[in-house]
Structure 1
Amino acid sequence: MAESESESPAEGRLRGAWKGIRRGAARVDAVTPADRDRAVDALRAFAILGVVLGHWLVTALVADGGVGLRTASPLHYMPWLAPISWVFQTLAVFFLVGGHVATRGYTSARARGVGTPPARANSRVGEYGQWLASRLSRLFKPVAAILTLWTVASVLLLLSGTDAGTIHTLLKLALSPLWFLLVFAALTAATPLLLRLNPLWPLAVVLHVDLIRFGLGGPAWLGWANVAAGWLVPYTLGAAWTRGELERRRAGWILLTGGAAATAALIAWAGYPASMVGVPGAGISNLNPPTLAAVTFGLAQCGLALLLREPLRRTMRRPLAWAAVALLNLSAMTIFLWHQTALMATTATGLTAGHLPGLHTVPDHLGWVAARLAWLPLFTLALALCWTAFRTYEQGPRRSTGRRSRVVRSHPASRGSAAKEHHHA
């Protein structure tokens, strides 16, 4: 009997849907310029997924009775799970790719006569502002939506008599991604001054700040200097990538092995926490503000990312893999800004059914971890609903003009020629 005759209607629909997905992926692949460096997009996509999954796995909203919620972390009760944070704390890769993309874009714009740094040509401040606005507009447009929603939600929660501590907990989680945008925006604005900055300079600042804080008993507030200096390290590594200084695999291996060895030494002998994310109740956080251990760990991550460029370029030649990465990049800021809201929406909805394992219970045993893994599909569904509702703030309204999407505009693979045209979103 022919396959089409034995196929059920459901199987036929699935087969048709799969063919449609493959056709769509083929179209995305076909309109992507041949010289686009797809590894850049893949690294950003992995960094996004790392942050999202990391937050979903280590952030717990515990209902201890009544209607109040407090934050907790399985890393506090089971510190031996710290290696989870090594996998999912991927912010250094964000800044590496961000520095590479921004410096390539700025160098290209300057070569075309756009965006001369105001420090060198005050008469062209307007051009620099135009370049900067184009870089930051996609970052901050989605922010208006999340600020508006949580402002309204906070007022409604207060009027309904919700505990103020719970509202503070929810707001802190929902708006915590905004710190990344502020730091990233500041570094982007300073890109003309960072084009040739050696990463060793900000690394030296982090080293001395930690030496004063932890070794000499200096003030704790001094650590906030590392918010800029710490993330400058991977950002300026991205600039070095643009200059063609990191093309040899040896550079990746040096960063990976050197960063990993330094991090292990700091954890084993200098008293730094093993977790690369903040843990409620811990005396020291590696991330808030960044410590030397977080920065050396980021160096190892950047080294691994550089080593993965060629394998990723080969993998991204597959239409399905590339289409998934391209679409994820098109919604990067929406996913980043709304993933915590998706977690909290699921948690709040689940309260109507009582205190559910892995969602409202104390994360103090492996059963909680197993239950939390089972909740991930619902978190993903909630995030998909947020994406449906708010993606236009990032992508803009759909156009029927046939214009090429920003997700497939050209940016050449880096080979030390930073003056090539670059339109990466």
Structure 2
Amino acid sequence: MSHLGDTAARPLRVVQAMAREVRRLAERTPPQRERHVDFLRAIAIVAVVLGHWLAVYVTHDKAFQGGSILDVVSWTRWLTWLFQVMPLFFLVGGFANAASFTSHRRRGGNATGWVLGRTARLLRPTTILLGGLAVAAAVARIFGAEPALIGVAVWVASIPLWFLVAYIAVVVLTPPMHALHRRTGLAVPVVLAALVGGGDLARLVLAVPYVGEANFLLAWLAVHQLGFAWQDGRLPSRRSVPVAMAAAGLIALVLLTVVGPYPVSMVELAGGKVQNTSPPTLALLALALTQVGIALWARDRANRWLRGPGPWTVVVAVNSVIMTLFLWHMAAVVIGVGAFYGPNVMPAAAPGSALWLLLRIPWLVFLALILALLVVVFGPFEQRRGPRADPVGAVRGKAAAALTIAGVGAVLAGLFGLTQAGPRYHGPVGLPVGVLIAYFSGVAVLGYVRWRHSRPTHEGDRADIS
């Protein structure tokens, strides 16, 4: 009996430990920290999770079927202007990466050491997700689940990985792009936006194949560079400037979508000839400009509000497990579909109908409970910081730099392969074995270099939640 009681109490101890860590981070926050950046990141992750959960529709007559509500109910596409917040992630990522890299260089570190440390914080929870999906797929197959169903479930759960391909790429490019920013400032995002426009022109008007694929990197780099400019003060924060940016972005967005050739939806639609995210377009950059203007306009008010211990502790709590929330929120959908629709707990309703909209309330509550449980299980892996967790200082030598580049390349190749795998069944672990080998090989190489060159993490670094 005592063993059962100890097992039942274990989740409570985990939650208590996580709460203590959050309180410690909140109390140790330096007074000069730009709290609004962390607030924007927290708001963005909530918008992403809610947007994905609300967009899912499921029917269950003789078999599960489903898709995105955006594909079948046209008025919902306008809501993507609110829920497409990936530009905010790249904006605050640029701010945080610039601050982190500048601090790292000030302490005597170099680009290789910084990339190793920064990618470690992204890859720890990602590796846990991929390992968890592989184990879950194998167990499901052992217990007789249909291969096609496993393929779809793993594909849905791994949807968030596309973001990491772009974000890890801009992280790795931060050292040279930050150097370019220091020399030329806001000219960099302007040129990048012009290149995005050129890619759109070549792809949509001149029908030049493949040229638009560069926009996957160019567009997100442009927004990331705006984060650099915000961090060092080159992006004006006087109230008139953010208002002008937001207004210009919104006007451009309306003209490009309502009058121009771009779709209203800022999320990919099934069968659409033109997509605003695949690859990113000028219309998406117009939305990004609008969001940047609003973010800068709200900065002073938000920072004053976040000085209160209550709001700031909530923001710290979300940021301390933000990768876990992001990576596992679609796995919560997979579990929720099986639990809610499998035994017919959720009544049948036509997508977009009044009943369907009403049923979004219990659906969101149920998924939130599932995700909370997943965070309790997997969140500690993200929060964990060992005494030699991340490199601090310089990592010298051409061999270390070459291994770091090779490791990152293998990781990106693996993640990209996973995003292209589709909903087919790919074998016993549910995912293509070749791309898993590429990913885990890259993680192993980066881990080896990090281990060889790391030193104990300073307490100040451990308090950093960005």
Same fold (TM over 0.5): yes
Contact 2:22–2:317 (CA under 8 A) maintained in structure 1: no
Tell me which amino acid in the other structure corresponds to 2:195: V
| 2:196 is the alignment partner of 1:206 | yes
Tell me which amino acid in the other structure corresponds to 2:369: L
Per-residue deviation, 1:163: 4.3
Contact 1:92–1:301 (CA under 8 A) maintained in structure 2: yes
Distance 1:167 1:222 in 2: 35
Distance 1:165 1:265 in 2: 43
Per-residue deviation, 1:241: 0.9
Q: Partner of 1:102 in structure 2?
A: 97
Q: Partner of 1:391 in structure 2?
A: 379
| 2:167 is the alignment partner of 1:184 | yes
Tell me which amino acid in the other structure corresponds to 2:329: H
Q: Partner of 1:93 in structure 2?
A: 88
Q: State how 1:16-415 maps to structure 2 within 5 Å.
A: 30-66=27-63, 69-115=64-110, 128-160=111-143, 162-195=145-178, 196=181, 198-219=188-209, 221-246=210-235, 247-354=237-344, 356-357=346-347, 362-396=350-384, 409=463
Distance 1:362 1:152 in 2: 35
Which stretches in structure 1 are left out of the alignment for 5+ residues?
1-21, 116-127, 410-422
Which stretches in structure 2 are left out of the alignment for 5+ residues?
1-18, 388-457
Per-residue deviation, 1:206: 1.0
RMSD: 2.6
Tell me which amino acid in the other structure corresponds to 1:341: A
Aligned to 2:359, what secondary structure does the other structure show?
Answer: helix
Distance 2:21 2:162 in 1: 36
Distance 1:105 1:248 in 2: 25
Tell me which amino acid in the other structure corresponds to 1:149: G
**1:274–1:351 distance in 2 versus 1, CA, 3 Å:** same
Per-residue deviation, 1:278: 1.7
Distance 2:213 2:350 in 1: 31
Aligned to 1:391, what secondary structure does the other structure show?
Answer: helix
Tell me which amino acid in the other structure corresponds to 1:52: V
Contact 1:71–1:169 (CA under 8 A) maintained in structure 2: no
**1:329–1:132 distance in 2 versus 1, CA, 3 Å:** same
Q: Partner of 1:6 in structure 2?
A: none
Contact 1:26–1:319 (CA under 8 A) maintained in structure 2: no
Bigger drift between 149-158 and 386-395 goes to 149-158
Per-residue deviation, 1:424: 4.9
Distance 1:81 1:340 in 2: 20
Contact 1:260–1:297 (CA under 8 A) maintained in structure 2: yes
Aligned to 1:288, what secondary structure does the other structure show?
Answer: coil
**Taking structure 2 as the reference length, what is the TM-score of the superposition?**
0.74
Per-residue deviation, 1:204: 1.0
CA deviation map 1:190-212 (0-9, x unaligned): 11211206201211111011111
Tell me which amino acid in the other structure corresponds to 1:368: W
CA deviation map 1:14-58 (0-9, x unaligned): xxxxxxxx9999876543222222111101101111111111111
**1:283–1:106 distance in 2 versus 1, CA, 3 Å:** same
Contact 2:22–2:316 (CA under 8 A) maintained in structure 1: no
Contact 1:142–1:333 (CA under 8 A) maintained in structure 2: yes
Tell me which amino acid in the other structure corresponds to 2:34: D
**1:259–1:165 distance in 2 versus 1, CA, 3 Å:** farther
CA deviation map 1:349-371 (0-9, x unaligned): 123422724xx755242321221
Tell me which amino acid in the other structure corresponds to 2:83: F
Distance 1:341 1:391 in 2: 14
CA deviation map 1:148-202 (0-9, x unaligned): 1211222334455544443333222211211212211111111121120620121
Bigger drift between 136-145 and 284-293 goes to 284-293
CA deviation map 1:91-149 (0-9, x unaligned): 1000000001111211222233211xxxxxxxxxxxx2221111111111011111112
Contact 1:331–1:395 (CA under 8 A) maintained in structure 2: yes
Distance 1:334 1:405 in 2: 23
Q: Provide the identity percentage.
A: 34
Distance 1:26 1:185 in 2: 29
Aligned to 2:233, what secondary structure does the other structure show?
Answer: coil
**Taking structure 1 as the reference length, what is the TM-score of the superposition?**
0.80
Contact 1:72–1:363 (CA under 8 A) maintained in structure 2: no
Contact 2:90–2:224 (CA under 8 A) maintained in structure 1: yes
CA deviation map 1:231-284 (0-9, x unaligned): 112100001112211233333223211111111001112231111112334333
**1:26–1:319 distance in 2 versus 1, CA, 3 Å:** farther
Contact 1:63–1:355 (CA under 8 A) maintained in structure 2: no
**1:227–1:61 distance in 2 versus 1, CA, 3 Å:** farther
Aligned to 1:82, what secondary structure does the other structure show?
Answer: helix
Distance 2:59 2:157 in 1: 16
**1:100–1:192 distance in 2 versus 1, CA, 3 Å:** same
Q: How many residues align?
A: 370
Contact 2:22–2:320 (CA under 8 A) maintained in structure 1: no
Distance 2:320 2:314 in 1: 10
**1:172–1:95 distance in 2 versus 1, CA, 3 Å:** same
Distance 1:24 1:137 in 2: 20
